[in-house]
Amino acid sequence: MSNQNQSDVQSLDALAASYKALKSEIGKVIIGQDEVVRAVIISLFGNGHSLLVGVPGLAKTLLVSTIAEVLDLDFKRIQFTPDLMPSDIMGAEILDESRNFKFNKGPLFANIVLADEINRTPPKTQAALLEAMQERSVTVSGVRHILPKPFFVLATQNPIEQEGTYPLPEAQLDRFMFNIPLDYPTYEEEVQVVKSTTANNSVNLSTILTAEKIIEYQQLIRKIPIADNVLEYCVSLATKTRPNTSGATDKVNQYISWGAGPRASQYLVIGAKVHAAINGKYSPDIEDVQAIANYVLRHRIVRNYKAEAEGITEEDIIKSLF
């Protein structure tokens, strides 16, 4: 094994140790929700954005602010409302005292941006996030401004309150690496939550990782080798979701309007690499792909009326692909 490989192996061991430390530190504040915390950390190490979907009161906002705290990252929260304008999040040109135009940065200029209730704002403002999420930059008055590194958008969305909400366009959804559902806590977890939140307890969190270390881990993930058969499995999973194509299954042809694009294949590979790394493996296998496939594919397949009428969920269809 060359020195380079040896140092990569040591870095991967350090990444797995950092992940354990992150989880236990976040666990001081967030009770339960292990799967959710794991998925968010995987998307951070994979340099991807996440959409957290759940009913109000499941600590979505608390989770994101806690993660920002233990990662020593600059954190901004944007509350999305129907009257929010693109300049409210990107920033705008203003006249300074000497009557020159100066760019005043908006809350998008942070390492972690919490887009709270993203589906409450009109498409014009949602579209302002598209460039930021893909290019890691924003263009205002023809001038391109680079966002700080690392840059993550963690958005929350309530599934039930459809009054006054705007569905996210497909192009916007596709920018999210993961779609992470949050469920109600178990009875025991809820007892613990109520105990800790109704007493005068304050938790001091330690910083586990710096911005530089996260960027280093993101680059390390890209270097992880992946076997051809595992990579082809990722691509075949994505292509199987496309109705009326050669790889599509009967279930897909029957219940899906359209399937996942090539970004799904890329995120399946990246997600599998991170999942392997945090579990102490040096290369991903098919189990790693299956462990994160739901998060990657759930928001990239669109069910037709037949599926909705028969109560067939995205998860049912994804499971049938395995």
What integer is the mean pLDDT of 228-245? 88
What is the distance between the alpha carbons of residues 227 and 236, in angstroms, rounded to a whole number?
14
Question: What pLDDT was estimated at residue 30?
Answer: 79
Question: What pLDDT was estimated at residue 3?
Answer: 45
Give tens-digit pLDDT for 249-265.
Answer: 788 878 888 888 888 99
Structural domain boundaries of the chain?
3-213, 225-321
Question: What pLDDT was estimated at residue 164?
Answer: 61
CATH topology for 3-213? Rossmann fold (3.40.50)
What is the distance between the alpha carbons of residues 175 and 304, in angstroms, rounded to a whole number?
22
Q: How confident is the model at residue 183 (pLDDT cuts 50, 70, 90)?
A: confident
Which residue matches tokens 């991807």? 48
Provide CATH code, domain 225-321: 1.10.8.80
Give tens-digit pLDDT for 41-85.
Answer: 899 999 989 998 877 777 777 888 888 888 888 888 888 888 888
Question: Which amino acid type is present at position 56?
Answer: P
Give tens-digit pLDDT for 134-160.
Answer: 888 888 878 888 888 889 898 888 765
Question: What pLDDT was estimated at residue 161?
Answer: 55
Give tens-digit pLDDT for 3-13.
Answer: 447 777 888 88
Has residue 109 got a pLDDT over 60? yes
What integer is the mean pLDDT of 269-273? 92
Question: What pLDDT was estimated at residue 59?
Answer: 72
What integer is the mean pLDDT of 97-119? 84
Has residue 130 got a pLDDT over 70? yes
Distances 72 to 67, 210, 240, 244, 320 between C-alpha atoms, Å: 9, 6, 40, 47, 41
Distances 295 to 159, 184, 306, 316 between C-alpha atoms, Å: 16, 18, 23, 13
> Do 112 and 73 contact (CB within 8 A), yes or no?
yes
Tokens of 51: 């959409």
Give which of 105, 75, 112 is closest to 89, Cα–Cα.
105
Residues 6+ apart with CB under 8 A from 277: 12, 15, 16, 19, 45, 220, 221, 224
> Do 218 and 45 contact (CB within 8 A), yes or no?
yes
Question: What pLDDT was estimated at residue 160?
Answer: 53
| Mean pLDDT value across the chain | 83
Residue spans of beta strands (DSSP E) within 9-48: none
Question: What pLDDT was estimated at residue 268?
Answer: 93
- Provide the whole-model pTM: 0.87
Query: Quick one: three-class SS letters along 89-154?
Result: HHEEEEECCCCCEEEEECCCCCCEEEEECHHHCCHHHHHHHHHHHHHCEEEECCEEEECCCCCEEE
